[in-house]
Amino acid sequence: MRVHICAVGRLKAGPEKLLIDDYISRLDAAGRPIGISAGPVIEVEEKRKLDAPQLMAREAELLLAAAKGATIVALDERGKNETSEVFARRLGEWRDNATSDLAFVIGGANGLAPAIREKAVHIVSFGAMTWPHMLARTMLAEQLYRAVTILAGHPYHRP
């Protein structure tokens, strides 16, 4: 199963990008033996000035196109806040149920359009707090790596 991160906005060089690249590389190395690999981080962006509802709708179109053919998991504050172990089990279930591509979708500053949440098989939350989108990407990359190490029995995760 390939795991993708699809996100609104372009990540410039800096500490977040270094961390994301590191965790994605680790995910790929630890996950391949157990059937999970890292797909590319796909970034989308609408350059036109649109009002918030139009922008959310346009971002949803771009994100859905980026995740085409993949099973969609949305990151949204209204989602399920779960432990790393539960997240790992869920990732393992998708793998075991022959999901070939899994796309984790992160919206823009206005959040995700309802169209994304409706298409998602699962909605994840990193808690009630609002996180910067680039930090949310970093946290997702780390949790994906952690989930793979839990599934592989690697000692990275210490409950």
Determine contact, residues 1/37, Cβ cutoff 8 Å: yes
Tokens of 66: 């980026």
Outline where the chain has alpha helix (H).
15-31, 52-66, 84-96, 114-119, 133-152
Q: 73-99: per-residue pLDDT in tens?
A: 999 988 999 999 999 999 999 999 999
Task: Over range 137-147, report the average pLDDT.
Answer: 96
Which residue type occupies 123?
I
Selection from 55, 93, 90, 74 nearest residue 6 by Cα = 74
Q: Which residue has the tokens 């399920």?
A: 80
Q: How far is CA 125 from the centre of its chain?
A: 11
Q: What is the pLDDT of residue 8?
A: 95
Determine contact, residues 35/86, Cβ cutoff 8 Å: no
Selection from 137, 88, 94, 100 nearest residue 2 by Cα = 100
Domains and CATH numbers, the chain: 2-152 (3.40.1280.10)
Q: Is the dihedral of CA 27, 97, 39, 55 positive or negative?
A: negative
Q: 3-20: per-residue pLDDT in tens?
A: 999 999 998 888 889 999
Question: What secondary structure letter does DSSP report for 12?
Answer: P
CA–CA separation, 97 vs 144, rounded Å? Answer: 18
Higher pLDDT, 134 or 143: 143
